[in-house]
């Protein structure tokens, strides 16, 4: 991966215990940022933090965090500032989906997805803005999805709504925080073979009839290929980019 210069900066990544969150943490650390890893599974965070410190010679701090709990997010930002002195980069990555037909979706299902995917990003952005505004500097990167642009045959209505909301919230925050030199952008990944999507990738039907027809490039994604996007948007190379959503999708949205 091409390294962007993030030396000395402090990045917070939610949903960092696996999947794309782990990749974002590796990418930012490889570019020189100290990273704070947030998720519920502390034992996984501790292992990833140890691996990252050994690989990249930076500081990596695991913080057990339930992003559906406002106080946990407030504590996450406070811990980051207390231990590392600042927050320069926030990656709102925590997310989940529930696959059920609409008529079987419960209100509890809806709230669980929306609170995890969208409300947590609002709270985390609010809290880091309190740190970034006085500094007149910062980068917030929201992880949306190609599903934020339209539906597919997968019945997961709350996920689509939350990821579409993430794109709209990105634009709103970019406008509100722009005067403080805080940039807010989003990444919309396509299908990556993370733990959550592993079953889909194993299905020949889904690979052949859903993913491949919407993939312009001649190969499926590998998880490491997401790293460059987050590092670019966090870096000074993107200092005049805000309010945008960068699709990393192999051409999914080109169809």
Dist CA 233 CA 226 (whole Å): 12
The conformation of residue 156, written as its DSSP 8-state character, comes to: -
| Selected catalytic residue, list 97, 159, 180, 240 | 159
DSSP assignment of 223-250 equals: GGGGHHHHHHHHSGGGTT--S-EEEEST
Q: Record the tokens describing residue 196, joined without a space.
A: 């959550």
Whether 39 contacts 45, CB under 8 Å: yes
User: Would you call 159 a catalytic residue per the annotation?
Assistant: yes
Whether 187 contacts 181, CB under 8 Å: no
Residue the block writes with tokens 């926030």: 90
| Residues taking part in catalysis | 159
């Amino acid at each position: 991966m091409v390294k962007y210069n993030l030396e000395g900066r402090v990045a917070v990544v939610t949903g960092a215990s696996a999947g794309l969150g782990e990749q974002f943490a590796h990418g930012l650390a490889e570019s020189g940022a100290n990273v704070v890893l947030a998720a519920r599974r502390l034992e996984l965070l501790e292992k990833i933090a140890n691996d990252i410190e050994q690989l990249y010679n930076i500081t990596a701090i695991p913080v057990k965090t339930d992003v559906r709990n406002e106080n946990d997010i407030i504590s996450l930002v406070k811990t980051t500032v207390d231990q590392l002195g600042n927050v320069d980069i926030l990656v709102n990555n925590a997310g989940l989906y529930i696959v059920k037909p609409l008529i079987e979706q419960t209100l509890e299902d809806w709230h669980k997805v929306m609170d995890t995917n969208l409300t947590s990003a609002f709270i985390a952005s609010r809290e880091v803005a309190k740190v970034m505004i006085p500094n007149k500097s910062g980068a917030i990167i929201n992880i949306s999805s190609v599903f934020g642009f339209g539906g597919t045959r997968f019945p997961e209505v709350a996920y689509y709504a939350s990821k579409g909301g993430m794109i709209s919230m990105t634009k709103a925050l970019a406008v509100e925080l722009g005067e403080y030199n805080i940039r807010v952008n989003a990444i919309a990944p396509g299908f990556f073979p993370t733990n959550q999507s592993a079953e889909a990738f194993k299905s020949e039907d889904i690979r052949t009839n859903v993913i491949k027809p919407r993939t312009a490039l001649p190969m499926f994604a590998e998880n490491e290929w997401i790293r460059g996007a987050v590092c670019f948007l966090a870096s000074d190379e993107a200092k005049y980019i805000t309010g945008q959503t960068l699709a990393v999708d192999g051409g999914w949205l080109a169809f």
